[in-house]
Structures are given as structure tokens and as C-alpha cells.
Amino acid sequence: MRKLAVIVVLIVAICAATDAAGATPYFKVVDAPDVSMSPNTTITLPITIQNLGGDGAYARLVFRGLPEGVSVSNVTRARWVYPGGRMTFNVNLSAGDISPANHTIEVGIAAKGSPPNYRSFHLIVENVTEETGIAVNATELAGEHPETSNVSESAKRQIPAAGVLLSMLAMAAARIRRAGRLR
């Protein structure tokens, strides 16, 4: 009877610790590739996010810095992402009648309980001549762009790990069980 009471106390303590830790989602934009397109065209842009937090949540994409004449679609529907899970959004990116240029756009995630996180990508609008089909104002990228993260290092360390709590419970149960066999 005493062993059962110890096990119940341990289970209650672990459940309370899990609730106190506040398992929350934490989303990160994993992949947002640079793209090239011509005026008056639409392309599909795959953007991948990951939930690094301890709880699942619905997430949707948010864009900042879209130039005039460029629009996105297929971003209004939120999708459920499990803890540790990845989700790829296929976004339609449309360029109207705009002049050739190199634009930097930021894509972020809107999810309840998750801190903001944005990543930059380049949109290169090229003017293609009808006779040759060769890009006239092609811009070559200078390399990878660092992602923009508004999350401090201390906030990243506060992501709870429920697996540690379950491991502690299993070790305590095994120890109690082994102690009972030795007597």
C-alpha cells in the first residue's frame, strides 16, 4: 500500500511539473528558397516550417515586405503541426506588371503561443525578351541569407522536454519495483 502511495505521488508531481512547464509550440521557418520569375506570371513556392516546441498547434504563414505588384495566395488556411513535425506550404506567388528588380521578402509564422520567427528570401523579377527568351536583367545572388530570428537564446532553452519527465517516472518505478524484490 505504501508503494502505491509513492507511485501516485510521483505521477501527480510529474503531471504538475509538466503543467507548470507550460508545454507550448515554438515554430521556425526551416526553408524558404530564393526564386526568379518574370512579370505577369505565377509560380509555386514551397515553404517548410517545423514545430520545435512541446505542444502541437495550428500555424499559418505571414509575409512582410511584399513589393507592390506581387501577391501571395494559399496562405490563409492554418494547418495543424505536431510537436517536432514539419509542414510544407505550397504558396502561389504572383507578379503583376512590375519592373525587373531584386526584392527581399520575409516569411513568418502565426501560431498561438509561439514567438515570432521570420526568414528572408529573395524574389528576383527578370524581364525576358520575346525574341530570345533570355533574361535581360538577371541578378546573381551573393550566397545564403541568414535567417531572422526574434527569439532570444534564453527563450529557446525554456522549451520543455516531457521525455525527461517520463524517463524519471520510469526509473523511479523500476527502483521501487526492484527494492520490493530484494526484500
- Quote the CA–CA distance of 167 and 55 in Å, as a whole number: 18
Question: What average pLDDT does range 143-156 have in this prediction?
Answer: 41
Question: What average pLDDT does range 169-174 have in this prediction?
Answer: 76
pLDDT (tens digit per residue) in 32-61 = 999 999 999 999 999 999 999 888 899 999
- pLDDT on residue 136: 43
pLDDT at 146 over 90: no
Domain ranges of the chain: 23-153
CATH number of 23-153: 2.60.40.10
DSSP one-letter code for 160: -
- The burial of 59, by beta-carbon neighbours within 10 Å (0-12 exposed, 13-18 middle, 19 or more buried), is given as buried
- Residue 181: pLDDT band (50, 70, 90) is low
Helix (H) or strand (E) segment spanning residue 120 = strand 117-125
Specify the higher pLDDT residue, 137 or 122: 122
Q: Which three cell numbers stand for residue 106?
A: 520575409
